[in-house]
Amino acid sequence: MNFDTLEIKTTRLDVPVVFFIFNRPDTTELVFNEIAKVKPKKLFVISDGPRLNKLDELDRVIQCRAIIDRVNWDCEVEKKYSESNLGCKVALSSGLNWVFEQVPEAIILEDDCLPNPSFFRFCQEMLIKYRDDTRVGMISGDNFQFNNSVSEFDYYFSRYCHIWGWATWRRAWKFYDVNIVNWPYLKSENFLKSILNSKSNIQHWEKSFDMVFSGQLDTWDHQWTLACWQNKMVSIMPRINLISNIGFGNQATHTHGNSIYSKLRTKEMHFPVRHPKSIEIDEVADFYTAKNMFSNSIFRKILRRIILPYWYLLTKR
Half-sphere exposure of 287 (CA within 13 A, CB side): 6
The pLDDT of 54-72, averaged and rounded, is 97
pLDDT category of residue 249 using cuts at 50, 70 and 90: low
pLDDT number for residue 14: 95
Q: How many domains does the chain have?
A: 1
pLDDT category of residue 7 using cuts at 50, 70 and 90: very low
Domain around 137: 17-178+233-290
pLDDT number for residue 149: 67
- Measured in residues, the chain has a length of 317
Q: Is residue 234 over pLDDT 80?
A: yes
Give the residue with greater pLDDT, 309 vs 212. Answer: 212
Q: What is the CATH number of the domain that holds 107?
A: 3.90.550.10
**Where are the strands (E) in the chain, listed by range?**
17-21, 42-47, 76-81, 105-110, 113-115, 136-140, 155-158, 166-169, 234-238, 243-245
Q: Is residue 6 over pLDDT 60?
A: no
pLDDT category of residue 315 using cuts at 50, 70 and 90: very low
The pLDDT mean for the chain works out to: 89
* % of the chain with per-residue pLDDT over 70: 85
pLDDT category of residue 4 using cuts at 50, 70 and 90: very low
Say how far apart CA 60 and CA 192 lie, in whole Å. 41
Residue 105 lies in a domain: yes
Quick one: CA dihedral 127, 130, 135, 139, positive or negative?
A: negative
Residue 32 lies in a domain: yes
pLDDT number for residue 43: 98
Residue 150 lies in a domain: yes
pTM score: 0.89
pLDDT number for residue 73: 96
The pLDDT of 234-260, averaged and rounded, is 78
